[in-house]
Amino acid sequence: MPNILICDDERSICEMLDITLRREGYKVETVNSGEMAKRKLESALYDVVVTDIKMPNINGIEVLKYAHQLSPDSAVILITAVDDYEAAVEAVKAGGATDYIRKGPSLVDEIKLGLRRALEKVALSRQNFALKRDAATRNSLDNIIGVSPTMAKLKQT
């Protein structure tokens, strides 16, 4: 079950997304500030973080950076009530928001679609990491079987 963190200073948005996403089978936690989001990120691993950009004190861009610092393969979806081109560009530069969604009547549908895309990205990232790790292990000289002096010398290089 994917683990989702929702961060928005509008409680009604958090409640709406919490109810909807739980019905979809997600494990959801909600917070109402960037400070609370950072604390949650320190204590648990989230597959996707959905955060509002415009919040008092710690904004969504800072939450994005912090989430990627703690868990680089977690996806972050940014939501906003206003069209803010500069914020979208900053989000990409800050570490790559997976999606950028404007709050509106279709927010829930767009979040559900964004979550599916984000979870695919997270799964591919984790699979890629596992494949690279396995390939490095398989290609290691430690896996060569042989006890001759020539083989021992080869393993030392």
Residue-wise pLDDT tens digits, 3-39: 999 999 999 999 999 999 999 999 999 999 999 999 9
What pLDDT, on a 0 to 100 scale, did the predictor assign at position 139? 61
Of the pLDDT bands very low, low, confident and very high (cuts 50, 70, 90), residue 138 is: low
- Checking if the pLDDT of 118 tops 80, the result is yes
What pLDDT, on a 0 to 100 scale, did the predictor assign at position 6? 98
* CA atoms of 6 and 32, how far apart (whole Å): 8
Domain annotation for the chain: domains and CATH numbers: 3-156 (3.40.50.2300)
- Checking if the pLDDT of 119 tops 70, the result is yes
What pLDDT, on a 0 to 100 scale, did the predictor assign at position 154? 65
Of the pLDDT bands very low, low, confident and very high (cuts 50, 70, 90), residue 98 is: confident
Of the pLDDT bands very low, low, confident and very high (cuts 50, 70, 90), residue 105 is: very high
Per-residue pLDDT tens digits for 67-94: 999 988 899 999 988 776 677 677 667 6
Burial call 121-132: b when 16+ CB within 10 Å, e when fewer: bbeeeeeeeeee
Terminal alpha carbon distance of the chain: 45
Mean pLDDT score, 103-121: 93
- Checking if the pLDDT of 140 tops 70, the result is no
* CA atoms of 154 and 60, how far apart (whole Å): 52
